[in-house]
Structure 1
Amino acid sequence: MIKKWKERIRRAADSEYALVFLCLTSFAESSFFIIPPDSLLTPMCLFDPKKWKKFAFFTTIFSVLGGVFGYGIGMFLFNEVAKPIINFYHLWDKFQYVEHLYRSYDFLVVFVAGLTPLPYKVFTIAAGVFKMNLLGFVFASLFGRGIRFYIEAFLVAKFGEEALEFLEKHFVFATIVIALVVVAGVLVYSLFLR
């Protein structure tokens, strides 16, 4: 089953509509869809490495736009739309934990969620539910999603199939390490260099 999905995704990534599929997937995954845009982004960078910046840019922008859509779901349609999405993915435990995090660290929470393989849609919807500052939400999403997608695209464009295989096998580990490095850098800067 997984092999068939990978094959379909690779075919989509190598089609003339690849960029359209990438934009739609990036938008949808940030608010209600389960397949991450990385699954299209990385093979597209493998097939056409010279366009990695373009692919990372569109993935980031459409992911953030999808995040704003998720924010709107949380703010205006929580009972009608957000609850069924959370129920469908069995994410109530995570949602309640996210509420606690938002009360203390809203910008950092969205940033880390955008950077890691955490279910980003939970965080976008939660940002709307808990009425996070929209501008702060957009900036946190741009930084988190942008860092993640640009690093992945660069690695695959630069190192090819080996990088793609590494990311497929160790995606969770790699994104957590990247998140920890970035958060550590932010903390060092804010504590010692400001």
Structure 2
Amino acid sequence: MSLGWLGVLSIAVTAFLDAALVPISVQALLVGAALAYPQWAWMLVGVYALASAAGSCVGYSLGRYGLATPLLRRFPPEKVKQAQTQMRRYGPFIVALGGTTPLPFPLFTIAAGMFRVSLPLLLLAVSIGRGAKAVLFVFVSAHIGRPVLDQTVKHHSGLIIGVAVLVALVGTWLGWRSWQKKVASPLTGDGRLNDRRG
């Protein structure tokens, strides 16, 4: 039982980080945990969706309060421009859709903050989008790939969860180091931000 709850905690942490600033693949862990503990499948979907919603507040805050300028440089400029343009038109709908795609999710939440999407609507959109993605991965994979995945999880569940916890810890550390460097560097080092503000 303790191993199962450790898996739930690992999913919550990795889902939070993936939605916040550190891209981490949660799907393999989510599917593995659902196969090892099928009675927890719906709870795992809920944990994934709620942790993603909580993590999305990080990117949203960065965009809303103007702290995202250095962070946006980590993403391809064409994807940033596309996300910003679409956010003006569709708001929460594009966030919900973005939650189901393999694109870096913080890109959508940062843009939502920059263009003042309602926070309650954002949280609802994230929960719907990420929840739908979790349902797809958990239940489709359980029916299609169960024979292989079930054996893998039964024999290696401890290793899978251990690796997931390690990835979460390393991801947190790397994200913190990156954040410290971004905060330490002046936002107006190139002068462009000052020019835009007049």
Same fold (TM over 0.5): yes
Residue in structure 1 matching 2:39, options 50, 54, 57: 50
The equivalent of 2:138 in structure 1 is 153
Residue in structure 2 matching 1:97, options 51, 73, 82: 82
The equivalent of 2:20 in structure 1 is 31
The equivalent of 2:48 in structure 1 is 59
The equivalent of 1:141 in structure 2 is 126
CA-based RMSD of the aligned residues comes to 2.2
1:83 to 2:69 alignment: yes
Per-residue deviation, 1:77: 4.5
The equivalent of 1:180 in structure 2 is none
Secondary structure of 1:115 counterpart: coil
**In structure 2, C-alpha distance between the alignment counterparts of 1:127 and 1:91, rounded to whole Å:** 17
| Paired residue type of 1:38 | Q
5+ unaligned residues in a row in structure 2: which ranges? 151-198
CA gap of 1:107–1:164, structure 2 versus 1, over 3 A, is farther
CA gap of 1:40–1:85, structure 2 versus 1, over 3 A, is farther
Per-residue deviation, 1:109: 0.7
Per-residue deviation, 1:163: 8.7
Question: Stretches of 4+ moved more than 4 A in 1?
Answer: 162-165
Whose Rg is larger?
Answer: 2
| Paired residue type of 2:88 | R
Q: Which has the higher contact order (CA 8 A, sep 6+)?
A: 2
| Paired residue type of 1:118 | L
* Contact map agreement 2:49 2:128 (CA 8 A) in 1: no
Deviation by residue 1:77-125 (Cα, 9 ceiling, x = unmatched) = 52xxx2333323x332211111110111112211110122222110011
**In structure 2, C-alpha distance between the alignment counterparts of 1:19 and 1:149, rounded to whole Å:** 14
| Paired residue type of 1:28 | L
* Contact map agreement 2:80 2:107 (CA 8 A) in 1: yes
The equivalent of 1:70 in structure 2 is 59
**In structure 2, C-alpha distance between the alignment counterparts of 1:103 and 1:123, rounded to whole Å:** 12
Deviation by residue 1:131-180 (Cα, 9 ceiling, x = unmatched) = 11112211111111111112222223444436969xxxxxxxxxxxxxxx
| Paired residue type of 1:83 | T
* Alignment TM-score, normalising by the size of structure 1: 0.68
* Alignment TM-score, normalising by the size of structure 2: 0.67
Deviation by residue 1:59-92 (Cα, 9 ceiling, x = unmatched) = 01000110122111211252xxx2333323x332
| Paired residue type of 1:35 | I
Query: Taking every aligned residue pair, what percent have the same amino acid on both sides?
Result: 26
The equivalent of 1:125 in structure 2 is 110
**In structure 2, C-alpha distance between the alignment counterparts of 1:163 and 1:122, rounded to whole Å:** 34
Task: Give the number of the structure whose residues are more often helix, by fraction.
Answer: 1
**In structure 1, C-alpha distance between the alignment counterparts of 2:44 and 2:145, rounded to whole Å:** 15
**In structure 1, C-alpha distance between the alignment counterparts of 2:4 and 2:131, rounded to whole Å:** 24
